[in-house]
Amino acid sequence: MIQTQKIKTIKELSELTKTMDKFGNEIVFERASEGYDYNKNTRLDVLIIGEAPGYDEVRIGKPFVGRSGKLLEEWLKLLEIKNFVITNVSKSHPIDPITKKNRRPDIDEIEYWKPILYKEIELLNPKHILCLGDTSYRTLTNSSESITKVIKTEQKFYYEGIPIFVYFHPSYILRNGNYDWKPDILSLNRRFNQKEGQIRL
Ligand code: URA
């Protein structure tokens, strides 16, 4: 397993990540909201965690820059989050060997990338985490509850004391073309802004 104990900064973590080529695919690390300065002491508001980069992300070198990313940008406007970082569970691009299409990371890939994700959370120390989709939600919560139920009941989890909110992956919403996500996102906005203790668990 990859050792991250000596890593002290996001820059060092990003450099380590680029050397991790076990799966032979291209690697994409994280991206921050405009104006977010890693070197200032402002606490990060939200760390958004998706699944894995796809072809668009590899081409641009940043997470969520394709169709899913466009939808995520719409959500971010409604969420009114000041500063955020967007990342993925798997930093490498999983490709189906036969169809060459994007695919979900498998269990080995998820396990391989876990120490990097955990270190990323430790270094960024966000006020909130937003897990987008099943892979991210299950990696951080170990919950076996269906993601739909978790979202509908506004269930909240914690990772090392950091509140975790869960929502559908943008690609899932895109596949279900007429799903009205706006009320869900507005409700997420409200929940982000609620003080601990007032939130419905
Ligand atoms: N889907 C993801 O989960 N992550 C990306 O970066 C792009 C699409």
Report how far ligand 1's centroid is from the alpha carbon of 68 (Å).
Answer: 7
pLDDT at 198 over 60: no
Summarised one tens digit per residue, pLDDT across range 33-65 is 999 999 987 899 999 999 999 999 999 999 999
Residue range 10-194 forms a domain whose CATH class is: alpha beta
* pLDDT the model gives residue 101: 95
What atom of ligand 1 comes closest to residue 56's alpha carbon?
Answer: 7
CB of 170 closer than 6 A to ligand 1? no
Name the closest-CA residue to atom 7, ligand 1.
64
Model-level pTM greater than 0.85?
Answer: yes
Taking each helix axis as running N to C, give the angle between helix 182-193 and helix 67-79, from 0 to 180 degrees, rounded to the nearest 10: 50
Percentage of the chain lying above the pLDDT 90 cut? 88
* pLDDT the model gives residue 24: 86
pLDDT classification of 200: cutoffs 50, 70, 90: very low
Q: Residue 127 contacts by C-beta under 8 Å, 6 or more apart in sequence?
A: 43, 44, 45, 46, 162, 163
pLDDT at 95 over 80: yes
Burial profile 135-166: b = 16 or more Cβ within 10 angstroms, e = fewer = bbbbbbbeeeeebeebbeebbbbebeebbbbb
What is the chain's mean pLDDT, rounded? 94
Residues 12-26 have a mean pLDDT of: 93
CB of 173 closer than 6 A to ligand 1? no
CB of 137 closer than 6 A to ligand 1? no
Percentage of the chain lying above the pLDDT 70 cut? 97
CB of 88 closer than 6 A to ligand 1? yes
Residue 103, token pair as written in the block:
């695919």
Report how far ligand 1's centroid is from the alpha carbon of 108 (Å).
Answer: 18
What atom of ligand 1 comes closest to residue 50's alpha carbon?
Answer: 3
pLDDT classification of 25: cutoffs 50, 70, 90: confident
What residue segments make up the domains of the chain, in order of their start? 10-194
pLDDT at 102 over 50: yes
* pLDDT the model gives residue 8: 96
CB of 68 closer than 6 A to ligand 1? yes
Summarised one tens digit per residue, pLDDT across range 133-185 is 999 999 999 899 999 999 999 999 999 999 999 999 999 999 998 999 999 99
- State how far the alpha carbon of 3 is from the alpha carbons of 54, 110, 123, 142, 166, in Å: 26, 16, 15, 22, 28
